[in-house]
Amino acid sequence: MGGEVILSVLLLHLIAPSENALPPRLPKEQKSIATIPKPVEKELYIGAIFPINGTGGWLGGQGCLPAALMALDDVNAESNLLPGYKMMMPFFDSQCNPGLGASVMYDLLYNPPKKLMLLGGCSIVCSTIAEAAKMWNLVVISYGSSSPALSNRKRFPTFFRTHPSATIHNPTRIKLFQKFKWSRIAIIQEAEEVFISTGEDLETRCKEAGIEIVTRQSFLTDPTDAVRNLVRQDARIIVGMFYVAAARKVICEAYKQKVYGKQYVWFLIGWYEDDWYTFMDRTHNCTVQQMKEALEGHLTTEALMLNQGSEPTISGMTSAQFLERYEDVLHDDYGYIGRRPEGYQEAPLAYDAIWAIALALNKTINQLREINASIEDFTYDNQYIAQQIYSAMNTTQFLGVSGYVAFSSKGDRIAWTQVEQMIDGNYTLLGYFDTQTNNLTWFKKEKWADGRPPPDRTIIVQVLRTVTLSLFISMTTVSCMGIVWAIGLLIFNTIFRHSRYIQLSHPMCNNIMLIGIICCLLCACLLGLDGQFVGEESFNTLCQARAWLLTIGFTLSYGAMFSKIWRVHRLTTKSKSESKKVASWKLYVMVCVLLFIDIIILSAWQFIDPLQRKLEVFPLEDPPESQDIKIAPQLEHCESENNAIWLGVIYGYKGLLLIFGIFLAYETRSVKVKQLNDSRLVGMSIYNVVVLCLITAPVTLVINSQTDATFAFVALAIIVCCFLSMALIFMPKIIELIRRPRERIDARTLTDTITSREEEDRQLRLQRENEELRRQINEREEQIRIVTQALQERNALRNLQVSSTVSAGDRVRITVPGNYTDGVMLVPKDNIAIDPTSDSGFITGTSIARSSRGSRSDFEFSESYL
């Protein structure tokens, strides 16, 4: 063991200087250590290590050394304390460097006189000297070590400290988190043992309290990446653990990356000086104003390092008197004007640490005196006296300027903590927390930018994407108008069901179609109902209602038209020998079969894999104004586990029906049958339904995530299909019944054979043709009568002339024209002909061919003279 120690000493002497380092400002005039002369001048030495100069870590020796020297003066001046002895305190500067700290410790130990105890400063140096001090049976007391690792009695069995452990901040932080309802924090720490162990302790306590630590970032020298990661993790409540030099870097980087303001709360260590951020160095390039802006509103937690009462302490001074005297020393002896040295707040701890050493040594001296032993007999191998010093220190209790001083079984200081907040550039005391009783004393002086504590995270507002109210109202209104129209057509169809014009359009099929249209229009209304109208529990029922209404409605409306067009196709494809009659019940059976298939599919879907409310979550969106809120859009869908399979079955079955229907409509596009007078209109309706369905189905799958677009597109498709079908099939019937009241007559009272409008039009046309032919016949007959009368008069005149000639003895020769070969004058040999060109099938009259002219050439007269 001795060889290892010697080797360590040699190595440390090689890597670190061993000369005594002085504080940056030496006293102007050294005061006498003892103001009251002692009867015996026996000196008791304690070795002291102060972090004074340096570039990193805690350099609190600048403020603690003057306070320790004050305490040394007061202890040596106390006549009832250490009678016959005088405490001496040689000290060295460790620069808060563990290597240099070990080196100066060995200088203290191996250079006479022997030291009874060691006084340490910063945590990383104390970790080195406290772990090694047990080899020399030395008790170590620290005034500035807060590392939780130093509470480990196995590693540091002889260590005590008047500075509370850094873990004392953690119960206070947890209490504040709970007070302000923060359940999500982040940690950024310097890669030092004191902060690493404190962070681990905080993490454990947060886990027990149900507080989430979203990230824990560490850095060595440059905190840029660590701060950037805080931004990435959306950290809002940030606990920072680092020395003051690193704190300036972190806050400057936080200012650059905008990690400050009303959205953020920083928790920093409270033992920094009040003006720590005003110190300018080369490690950061932020101005004092920028640092002040970034630090506004941050909170600090620190152990109470100054007695809050006004009663005298063990030194006879109150805490206020101590501060007054201490500041005078800083001003007069060390030249601190206008600013405070680092370690100013820990000065009462250093003062009380000297008093704790004095009290422990005083108690040890008394106990040794009872066994006729002396403290001068102490050597580094004397475990008995070392144990007596340890026991005396462990039981030391007194009221010091830093408060009530007592040590736990782990050597930690038992103390209260205080909470402060920077308000308008100044630290304001907010309250105290007693870790022993878990009691928080709060003064309600906190100040927040928005009048309330900021949230611990970006507030995620879940916004349900719903159909725009105006769009829903407009579509619902049109759908309701369509429902009313369909009901009106049902009434119309029922009233005139026996009219021959209505009867020839299969009114029962039309009624079925209208019922299906009503179901489809009701579904269009239900498609607009969402989370703004229906609760989560009722939404599943709504999903089932939509599926049933739309499927059944489509089958009833399209199935009725399909059955009618199928009947037309059957009538036109039957041979002449087959019966042309298709029974109406077959049409109804066809619709029932289609309806039964739908019921089977929907029932299986509902019982095996029912439709349920599923939420589609979209990426977060920024609101137009607030920066603390992110919008998480959500969209409700009616889906089942195997939704694609069920939709495939429905679409496949309906698709085949649509394709077959449009095929039948195309095949019968030019066919007219008297048994179904609206077949062409039904075909046009089928065209419209098929085209809109083939467009709507794929487009809806594409725009499924757009609420208004999906609802508008599907609802419009349903409305257009329904309105077009009703208009095409029923409007001609209504117009016809208005124009031709005769069509309203009950078809059961008629006996004529005209069964359709086309046949009646043909009859009217034939009648007009017949009347025209009769008029022409009358005109011809009148012309014939006139010509016949003229011929008769001429013949009579000629007969008289012949008679007179014959009587005179002349002979006359009459030549008869060839077309009068029957010997009868003016009677043609052609028969009366019936007009065969008329398509009426009626005999309209006679067509007579007569000669309308009697010329002189028709007769030749020959005279012979006897």
pLDDT of residue 582: 53
Output the pLDDT for position 659: 87
Structure tokens, 478:
């049109």
Note the pLDDT of residue 443.
93
Which CATH number among 3.40.50.2300, 1.20.120.1200, 3.30.1050.10, 3.40.50.920 corresponds to the domain 168-308+418-457? 3.40.50.2300
Q: Is the pLDDT of residue 21 over 60?
A: no
Confidence of residue 644 (pLDDT cuts 50, 70, 90): confident
Q: Once rounded to an integer, what is the mean pLDDT over residues 789-813?
A: 70
Cα 2 to Cα 380: distance, rounded to the nearest angstrom: 12
pLDDT, tens digit, for every residue of 287-302?
A: 999 999 999 999 999 8
Q: Give 575's pLDDT tier (boundaries 50, 70, 90).
A: low
Closest listed residue to residue 704, CA positions, set 651, 637, 644 = 637
pLDDT over threshold 80, residue 762: no
CATH (residue range 463-572+584-741): 1.20.1070.10
pLDDT digits (tens, 9 = 90+) for 301-318: 988 888 888 899 999 999
Pairing type for strands 398-400 and 403-405 reads: antiparallel
- Across the range 387-414, mean pLDDT stands at 92
Terminal alpha carbon distance of the chain: 200
Average pLDDT of span 223-227: 94
- Model confidence at 449, in pLDDT bands (50, 70, 90)? confident
Task: Please give the backbone phi and psi of residue 621, each rounded to the nearest 5 degrees, phi first.
Answer: -125, 150
Residue 426: phi, psi to the nearest 5?
-125, 145
Answer whether residue 99 shows pLDDT above 80.
yes
pLDDT of residue 611: 87
pLDDT of residue 805: 55
If pLDDT is split at 50, 70 and 90, which confidence band does 677 have?
Answer: low
- Give Cα 442 to chain centroid, integer Å: 38
> How is domain 42-165+317-412 classified at the architecture level of CATH?
3-Layer(aba) Sandwich (3.40)
Q: Where are the beta strands (DSSP E) in 40-146?
A: 42-50, 85-88, 91-93, 117-120, 139-142
Q: Is the predicted pLDDT of residue 682 greater than 70, yes or no?
A: yes
d(CA 362, CA 367) in angstroms, rounded, equals 9
Is residue 804 very low, low, confident or very high in pLDDT (cuts 50, 70, 90)? low
Residue 400: pLDDT band with limits 50, 70, 90: very high
**Is the pLDDT assigned to residue 24 strictly greater than 90?**
no
Q: What is the 3-state secondary structure (H, E, C) of 603-616?
A: HHHHHHCCCEEEEE
CA angle 560, 562, 563 (to 5 degrees): 65
Span 408-420, mean pLDDT? 88
Q: Which of 53-57, 428-432, 547-551, 671-675 has the lowest mean pLDDT?
A: 671-675
Cβ atoms within 10 Å, residue 474: 14
pLDDT value for 527? 87
Helix 347-370 to helix 319-333 angle (10° resolution) is 110
Task: Place 89 in a pLDDT band, splitting at 50, 70 and 90.
Answer: very high
Residue 4, pLDDT score:
39
Average pLDDT taken over every residue of the chain: 81
Least confident of 266-270, 575-579, 707-711: 575-579
Q: Any idea what DSSP says for residue 676?
A: B
Is residue 174's pLDDT more than 90? Answer: yes
Annotated domain spans of the chain = 42-165+317-412, 168-308+418-457, 463-572+584-741
User: What pLDDT is attached to residue 744?
Assistant: 57
What CA–CA distance (Å, rounded) separates 313 from 316?
5
Tokens found for residue 341:
């040295």
User: Residues 54-72: what's their mean pLDDT?
Assistant: 91
Q: What is the pTM of this model?
A: 0.58
Task: Band the pLDDT of 750: cuts 50, 70, 90.
Answer: very low
Residue 382 tokens read as 């004397």
103-112, 128-137, 605-614, 793-802: which has the minimum mean pLDDT?
A: 793-802
Task: Give me the pLDDT at residue 858, please.
Answer: 41
Three-state SS sequence of 101-113:
HHHHHHHHHHCCC
> What is the rounded distance in angstroms from the CA atom of residue 13 to the CA atom of residue 4?
14
Grade residue 760 by pLDDT with cuts at 50, 70 and 90: low
Nearest to 349 by CA among 271, 264, 456, 268: 271
- pLDDT band per the 50, 70, 90 thresholds, residue 416: confident
Summarize pLDDT for 197-220 with one digit per residue, the tens. 889 999 999 999 999 999 999 999
Which among 147, 95, 142, 135 has a CA at the least distance from the CA of 118? Answer: 142
Region 28-56: mean pLDDT is 68
Topology alike, domains 42-165+317-412 and 168-308+418-457: yes
Most confident segment among 190-194, 483-487, 708-712:
483-487
pLDDT of residue 272: 86
CA distance 741 to 799: 67
**Rounded mean pLDDT, 495-502:** 78
The contacts of residue 571 (CB under 8 Å, 6+ apart) are: 580, 582, 671, 673, 675, 676
> pLDDT value at position 30?
34
Give the pLDDT band of residue 822 (cuts 50, 70, 90). very low
Average confidence (pLDDT) over 54-71: 91
- pLDDT winner (highest mean) among 248-257, 509-518, 678-687: 248-257
Average pLDDT over residues 126-149: 92
Q: What is the pLDDT of residue 154?
A: 92
From residue 167, give the alpha-carbon distance in Å to each of 151, 160, 271.
Answer: 10, 15, 14
Question: What's the pLDDT tens digit per position in 434-448?
Answer: 888 889 999 999 999
Q: Check whether 801 has a pLDDT greater than 80.
A: no
The region of weakest confidence among 139-143, 184-188, 324-328, 682-686 is 682-686
**Segment 591-616, tens digit of pLDDT:** 888 899 989 999 999 899 888 888 88
Share of the chain above pLDDT 90, in %: 39
Q: Please give the pLDDT value at position 623.
A: 79
Range name among 222-236, 474-488, 703-717 with the lowest pLDDT average: 703-717
- What does the chain come to in residues? 866
CB distance 248 to 279 below 8 Å: yes
pLDDT(16) > 70: no
